[in-house]
Chains A and B, each alone.
Chain A
Amino acid sequence: MADKEATVYIVDVGQSMGERRNGRSVTDLEWAMQYVWDRITGTVATGRKTAMMGVIGLRTDGTSNELEDDVHFSHISVLSNIKQFLMPDIRKLEEVIRPSETNKGDAISAIILAIQMIITHCKKLKWKRKIVLITNGRGRMSDENLGEIIKRIKEDNIELVVMGCDFDDPDYGFKEEAKDPRKDDNEALLRSLVEDCDGVYGTLEQAVSELDVPRVKVVKSMPSFKGYLQLGNPEDYETALRIPVERYYRTYVAKPPTASSFALRSEIPAEDQPESSETAAATQGNQSGDALTSVRTLYTYQVDDESAPGGKIDVERDDLAKGYEYGRTAVHISETDENITTLETYAALELVGFIQSDKYDRYMHMSTSNVIIAQRANDKAALALSSFIHALFELESYAVARLVMKENKPPVVVLLAPSIEPDYECLLEVQLPFAEDIRTYRFPPLDKVITVSGKVVTEHRNLPGDDLLDAMDKYVNSMELVDNDEDGDPVETMPIEDSFSPVVHRIDAAVRARAINPDEPVPAPSERLTKFSHPPEDLLEKSKQHLERLIDLADVKKVPPKAKGRKRTRETEKPLSGLDVDSLLHQEKRSKISPNNAIPEYKQRLAQVDDIEIVKEATKQMATIVEDQIRHSLADANYDRVIEALGTMRDELISYDEPAIYNDFLRKLKEDLLQEKLGGDRQELWWLIRRSKIGLIVQRESDQSKVTDAESKEFMSAK
Chain B
Amino acid sequence: MADDYANRDEQIEEEEEIDETGYKSVKDAVLFAIEISDSMLRPRPSSDPKKPTEESPATAALKSAYHLMQQRIISNPHDMIGILLYGTQASKFYDEDESSRGDLSYPNCYLLTDLDVPSAQEVKELRALAHGEGEAQDVLAASKERVSMANVLFCANQIFTSKAPNFLSRRLFIVTDNDDPHGDNKSLRSAATVRAKDLYDLGVVIELFPISQADHEFDSAKFYDDIIYKASPSDPDAPAYLSADAKAPTTTGDGISLLNTLLSSITSRSVPRRAHFSNMPLELGPDLKISVTGYLLFKRQAPARNSFIWLGGENPQIVKGVTTQIADDTARTVEKSEIKKAYKFGGDQISFTHDELKALRRFGDPVIRIIGFKPLSALPFWANVKHPFFIYPSDDDFVGSTRVFSALQQTLLKSRKAALVWLIARKNAGPILGTMVAGEEKLDEHGIQRVPPGMWIIPLPFADDVRQNPETTLNVAPEPLIDQMRCVVQQLQLPKAVYDPLKYPNPSLQWHYRILQALALDEDLPEKPEDKTLPRYRQIHKRAGDYVLSWADELEAQYVKTAAPGPKSTLVKRSAKDRASEAEDAASKPHKKVKVETDEQGMDDVVRAHYQKGSLSKLTVPVIKDFLTAHGRSAAGKKADLVERVEEYFDQK
Q: Is the CB of A329 within 8 A of B120?
A: yes
At the interface, yes or no: A10 with Cβ under 8 Å from chain B?
no
Q: Is the CB of A533 within 8 A of B363?
A: yes
Q: Is the CB of B469 within 8 A of A424?
A: yes
Q: Is the CB of B201 within 8 A of A600?
A: yes
**Alpha-carbon distance A433/B593, docked complex (angstroms):** 34
Contact partners of A167 in chain B: CB under 8 A = none
**Other-chain contact of A556, B301, B404, B458, B466 (Cβ < 8 Å):** B404
Contact partners of B535 in chain A: CB under 8 A = 231-233, 350-353, 402
Q: Is the CB of A443 within 8 A of B347?
A: no
Q: Is the CB of B288 within 8 A of A550?
A: yes
At the interface, yes or no: B271 with Cβ under 8 Å from chain A?
yes
Q: Is the CB of A383 within 8 A of B157?
A: no
**Other-chain contact of B385, A253, A362, A447, A482 (Cβ < 8 Å):** A253
Q: Could you tell me the distance in whole angstroms from the C-beta of A491 to the nearest C-beta in chain B?
A: 11
Contact partners of A356 in chain B: CB under 8 A = 493, 497-498
- Of A18-26, A66-74, A98-106, A569-577, the one contacting chain B is A569-577
**Alpha-carbon distance A293/B334, docked complex (angstroms):** 11
Q: Is the CB of A597 within 8 A of B322?
A: no
- Of B210-218, B365-373, B615-623, the one contacting chain A is B365-373
Q: Could you tell me the distance in whole angstroms from the C-beta of A349 to the nearest C-beta in chain B?
A: 10
Q: Is the CB of B493 within 8 A of A354?
A: yes
**Other-chain contact of B75, A284, A433, A436 (Cβ < 8 Å):** A436
- Of A117-125, A130-138, A174-182, A409-417, the one contacting chain B is A409-417
Q: Is the CB of B199 within 8 A of A303?
A: no
Q: Find the B residue at minimum CB distance from A310.
A: B1
Q: Is the CB of B342 within 8 A of A262?
A: yes
Q: Give a binary string over B451-494; 1 marks a CB under 8 Å from any A CB, 0 the rest.
A: 11110101011111111111011111100011011101110111
**Other-chain contact of A445, B229, B306, B441, B515 (Cβ < 8 Å):** B441
Q: Is the CB of A442 within 8 A of B268?
A: yes
Q: Could you tell me the distance in whole angstroms from the C-beta of B266 to the nearest C-beta in chain A?
A: 11
Q: Is the CB of A515 within 8 A of B512?
A: no
Q: Is the CB of B464 within 8 A of A251?
A: no
Q: Is the CB of B363 within 8 A of A502?
A: yes
Q: Is the CB of B288 within 8 A of A554?
A: yes
Contact partners of B241 in chain A: CB under 8 A = 452, 576
Contact partners of B307 in chain A: CB under 8 A = 322-325, 330
At the interface, yes or no: B287 with Cβ under 8 Å from chain A?
yes
Q: Give a binary string over B499-518; 1 marks a CB under 8 Å from any A CB, 0 the rest.
A: 10111111111011101110
Q: Find the B residue at minimum CB distance from A317.
A: B308
Q: Is the CB of A262 within 8 A of B475?
A: no
Q: Could you tell me the distance in whole angstroms from the C-beta of A271 to the nearest C-beta in chain B?
A: 15
Q: Give a binary string over A583-610; 1 marks a CB under 8 Å from any B CB, 0 the rest.
A: 0110110000000110111011000000
At the interface, yes or no: A326 with Cβ under 8 Å from chain B?
yes
Q: Is the CB of B420 within 8 A of A691?
A: no
Chain B 161-204 interface residues, beta-carbon cutoff 8 Å to A:
161-162, 165-166, 190, 193-194, 196-203
Q: Is the CB of A395 within 8 A of B489?
A: yes
Q: Could you tell me the distance in whole angstroms from the C-beta of A253 to the nearest C-beta in chain B?
A: 5
Contact partners of A492 in chain B: CB under 8 A = 374, 378
Contact partners of A85 in chain B: CB under 8 A = 346
**Alpha-carbon distance A148/B563, docked complex (angstroms):** 50
Contact partners of B378 in chain A: CB under 8 A = 492
At the interface, yes or no: A336 with Cβ under 8 Å from chain B?
no
Whether A390 touches B485, Cβ cut-off 8 Å, given contacts A383-B559, A536-B372, is yes
Chain A residue total in the interface (Cβ 8 A): 268
Q: Is the CB of B310 within 8 A of A535?
A: no
Contact partners of A259 in chain B: CB under 8 A = 341-343, 352, 357
Contact partners of A641 in chain B: CB under 8 A = 161-162, 165-166
Whether A480 touches B372, Cβ cut-off 8 Å, given contacts A44-B345, A263-B334, is yes
**Alpha-carbon distance A641/B158, docked complex (angstroms):** 12
Contact partners of A425 in chain B: CB under 8 A = 474, 476
Q: Give a binary string over A343-366; 1 marks a CB under 8 Å from any B CB, 0 the rest.
A: 101111011111110011111111
Whether A530 touches B363, Cβ cut-off 8 Å, given contacts A292-B351, A359-B497, A380-B598, is yes
At the interface, yes or no: A277 with Cβ under 8 Å from chain B?
no
- Of A193-201, A204-212, A217-225, the one contacting chain B is A217-225
**Other-chain contact of A435, B200, B316, B356, B503 (Cβ < 8 Å):** B503
Q: Is the CB of B12 within 8 A of A690?
A: yes
Contact partners of A683 in chain B: CB under 8 A = 1, 5
At the interface, yes or no: A144 with Cβ under 8 Å from chain B?
no
Q: Is the CB of B411 within 8 A of A473?
A: yes
At the interface, yes or no: A543 with Cβ under 8 Å from chain B?
yes
- Of B45-53, B136-144, B254-262, B625-633, the one contacting chain A is B625-633
Q: Is the CB of B464 within 8 A of A501?
A: yes
Q: Is the CB of B348 within 8 A of A555?
A: no
At the interface, yes or no: B132 with Cβ under 8 Å from chain A?
no
**Alpha-carbon distance A503/B286, docked complex (angstroms):** 25
At the interface, yes or no: B93 with Cβ under 8 Å from chain A?
no
Q: Find the A residue at minimum CB distance from B497.
A: A356
**Alpha-carbon distance A395/B493, docked complex (angstroms):** 11
Q: Is the CB of A585 within 8 A of B452?
A: no
Interface hub of A249, A433, A599, A692 (most chain B Cβ within 10 A): A433
**Alpha-carbon distance A601/B485, docked complex (angstroms):** 72
At the interface, yes or no: B417 with Cβ under 8 Å from chain A?
yes
Contact partners of A216 in chain B: CB under 8 A = 463-464
Contact partners of A350 in chain B: CB under 8 A = 534-535
**Other-chain contact of B504, A285, A303, A434, A604 (Cβ < 8 Å):** A434
Contact partners of B494 in chain A: CB under 8 A = 352-355, 400
At the interface, yes or no: B99 with Cβ under 8 Å from chain A?
no
Q: Find the B residue at minimum CB distance from A389.
A: B477
Q: Is the CB of B481 within 8 A of A383?
A: yes
Q: Is the CB of B298 within 8 A of A285?
A: no
Contact partners of A380 in chain B: CB under 8 A = 555, 559, 563, 596-598
Q: Find the B residue at minimum CB distance from A346.
A: B632
Q: Is the CB of A383 within 8 A of B477?
A: yes
Q: Is the CB of A443 within 8 A of B346?
A: no
Whether A554 touches B516, Cβ cut-off 8 Å, given contacts A259-B342, A469-B411, is no
**Alpha-carbon distance A286/B347, docked complex (angstroms):** 11
**Alpha-carbon distance A165/B458, docked complex (angstroms):** 45
Q: Is the CB of A367 within 8 A of B490?
A: no
Q: Is the CB of A353 within 8 A of B493?
A: yes
- Of A31-39, A456-464, A663-671, the one contacting chain B is A456-464
Q: Is the CB of B369 within 8 A of A534?
A: yes
At the interface, yes or no: A246 with Cβ under 8 Å from chain B?
yes
Contact partners of B122 in chain A: CB under 8 A = 327
Q: Could you tell me the distance in whole angstroms from the C-beta of B30 to the nearest C-beta in chain A?
A: 14
At the interface, yes or no: A96 with Cβ under 8 Å from chain B?
no
At the interface, yes or no: B101 with Cβ under 8 Å from chain A?
no
Q: Find the B residue at minimum CB distance from A554.
A: B404
Contact partners of B325 in chain A: CB under 8 A = 261, 263, 295-298
**Alpha-carbon distance A411/B509, docked complex (angstroms):** 10
Q: Is the CB of B452 within 8 A of A443?
A: yes
**Alpha-carbon distance A433/B75, docked complex (angstroms):** 14
Q: Is the CB of B596 within 8 A of A303?
A: no
Chain A 390-434 interface residues, beta-carbon cutoff 8 Å to B:
390-392, 394-395, 397, 399-400, 402, 404, 406-408, 410-411, 413, 415, 417, 419, 423-426, 428, 430, 432-434
Other than the given A303-B310, A506-B361, A581-B194, 7 more pairs (CB < 8 A) read A90-B346, A239-B541, A321-B311, A330-B307, A352-B494, A433-B501, A599-B201
In the complex, 26 of the A-B residue pairs with CB atoms within 8 angstroms, ordered by the A residue number, are: A90-B346, A263-B340, A293-B327, A296-B328, A321-B309, A328-B119, A343-B511, A355-B499, A362-B456, A378-B597, A383-B562, A387-B477, A391-B482, A408-B634, A423-B474, A433-B300, A433-B501, A443-B454, A446-B406, A471-B407, A476-B417, A499-B462, A558-B398, A577-B225, A584-B190, A599-B201
Which are the 7 A-B pairs with shortest beta-carbon distances? Answer: A346-B632, A239-B545, A410-B508, A382-B475, A464-B407, A387-B477, A647-B23
